[in-house]
Amino acid sequence: MSILEVGIVGYGLAGSVFHAPLIAAEPRTRLATVVTGSARRAEQARRDHPGVRVVPDVDALFEDIGTLDLLVIASPNDTHAPLAQRALRAGVAVVVDKPFAVTCAEAEEVLAAAQSAGVALSVFQNRRWDGDFLTVASLIASGRLGEVRRFESRFERWRPVSKGGWRESGAPEQGAGLLFDLGSHLLDQAFALFGPVHSVYCELDRRREGIWTDDDVFLALTHACGVRSHLWASAVTPLLGPRFRVLGSTAGYRSFGLDPQEEALRAGRRPGDEGWGTVESDRWGTFGAEPDLAPEPTLPGDYPAFYAAMAAAVLDGTPVPVDPYDALVTTRLLEAARESAQTERIVRV
């Protein structure tokens, strides 16, 4: 069986918690190289993945890039597009963590580089494999909700004191802030479910002391199909709302809490462990129409599906797990959202 040699640029939260364990769990991929300038993270990578090669910077990586089949870019947001182009031009397949790029111009350059090189390119939108999202998608596809009219989605946290780090201290031009972080997931999920967007309205606020970019976000999308999506991302929510609330012409669905896969990965659990991705019955969502409401089982989450599909794309020529043109759409929506917040008006897209 052919096995892809995979490299990761960056071994922070994204690289160490999300990408590396999923790559290690996929039979057709092997984590071969990690790029990090941190001695502490280098040692962690060696402990986590015995035999992995650790290099201190991307220049050292690209001196020997021909040994890799796939490069995962999990470095700060403003480096995503330049590094992706560099790898693609070297003929190496690429997975870019979200956000795909900071501007549409950058995103288009990455897509052009992939097309010119003829190699696979995808974006790591792992939240498409959250169990609650898969449940929402299943309910919509089955018609049990009737005609969907409104979609609400939230990633809310209560962190009244900033933890620091570039995502909170960086500038919006660097892709810092919640809009580019959790907002990328929210926009991608809404687009995946309901398709093209006609207009965007956005509110961006900076609520806490000591940060330089948005930590409280609201987005309103009007889709071409008529669905209205209302999306929230916040670090300053003392009372959390539902993760999803979907309202249709015959029924609705509501769920609370987050998919358990991230928590499991942070705790050191791995795909294949008993009960991976499953949600206990006391955390299921609610389906129906007042007063006839009932628990709705949450489908199992499946983050491992991403790298299984990516391996198949590179080795077998099947479609990549997330179309990079979807990432271009998300980047356009992010740009429209920033424009809306700055001008305090609805932006047509």
Q: Which domains does the chain have, with CATH numbers?
A: 4-124+306-319 (3.40.50.720), 128-302 (3.30.360.10)
Question: Do 154 and 243 meet the contact criterion of CB atoms below 8 Å apart?
Answer: yes
User: In this structure, which amino acid lies at residue 90?
Assistant: A
Q: Looking at residue 1, what is its pLDDT?
A: 67
Q: Looking at residue 275, what is its pLDDT?
A: 94
Confidence band for 208, pLDDT divided at 50, 70 and 90: very high
Query: Which pairs from 157-164 meet CB under 8 Å and 24+ separation?
Result: 157/234, 157/235, 157/237, 157/240, 158/235, 158/236, 158/237, 158/238, 158/240, 159/235, 159/236, 160/208, 160/236, 160/238, 161/208, 162/208, 162/209, 162/210, 162/211, 162/215, 164/210
Q: Which DSSP helix (H) or strand (E) runs through 281?
A: none
The partner residues of 292 in beta bridges, in order of sequence, read 289
Confidence band for 165, pLDDT divided at 50, 70 and 90: confident
Q: Which residue has the tokens 């220049």?
A: 59
Rounded Cα distance between 252 and 244, Å, is 10
pLDDT by residue (tens digit) across 247-304?
A: 999 999 999 999 999 999 999 999 999 999 999 999 999 999 999 999 999 999 999 9
Phi, psi of 330 (to 5 degrees): -60, -40
pLDDT by residue (tens digit) across 3-18?
A: 999 999 999 999 999 9
Query: Which pairs from 256-264 meet CB under 8 Å and 24+ separation?
Result: 256/283, 256/285, 257/283, 258/130, 259/127, 259/130, 259/131, 259/132, 259/133, 259/301, 260/131, 260/301, 261/129, 261/130, 261/131, 261/301, 261/303, 262/17, 262/18
Confidence band for 211, pLDDT divided at 50, 70 and 90: confident
